[in-house]
């Protein structure tokens, strides 16, 4: 495997780690701030890995999937802000 393939794989792996982390921390006692931080950091890293891979399909899939995670983290942060008194 060359460097481009490894970076593309890491981009998709960050999405999988985010999904697994989501199912691990769910529940009424979940620390939502930690979840938002982890989702945001992983998705930004995934987007950077996707762009650095310079392969069209890795860039396309990596940006779409990691962008969806980043948007989900934003909506979670927005919902936390609305629900607090």
Spatial contact of 8 and 49, defined as CB atoms under 8 Å apart:
yes
Q: Which tops the pLDDT comparison, 38 or 80?
A: 38
Question: Tens of pLDDT along 5-40?
Answer: 999 999 999 999 999 999 999 888 888 899 999 999
Q: Above 80 in pLDDT, residue 84?
A: no
**14/5 Cα distance (integer angstroms):** 14
Burial class (CB in 10 A: 0-12, 13-18, 19+), 72: middle
Task: Calculate the dihedral angle through the C-alpha atoms of 37, 43, 71, 53, rounding to the nearest 10 degrees.
Answer: 160
Is this prediction's pTM over 0.75? Answer: yes
């Amino acid at each position: 495997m060359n460097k481009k393939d490894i970076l593309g794989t890491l981009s998709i792996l960050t999405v999988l780690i985010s999904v697994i982390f989501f199912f691990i921390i769910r529940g009424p006692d979940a620390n939502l701030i930690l979840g938002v931080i982890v989702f945001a950091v992983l998705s930004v890293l995934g987007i950077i890995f996707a762009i650095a891979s310079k392969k069209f399909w890795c860039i396309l899939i990596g940006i779409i999937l990691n962008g969806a995670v980043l948007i989900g983290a934003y909506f979670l942060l927005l919902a936390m802000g609305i629900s607090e008194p």
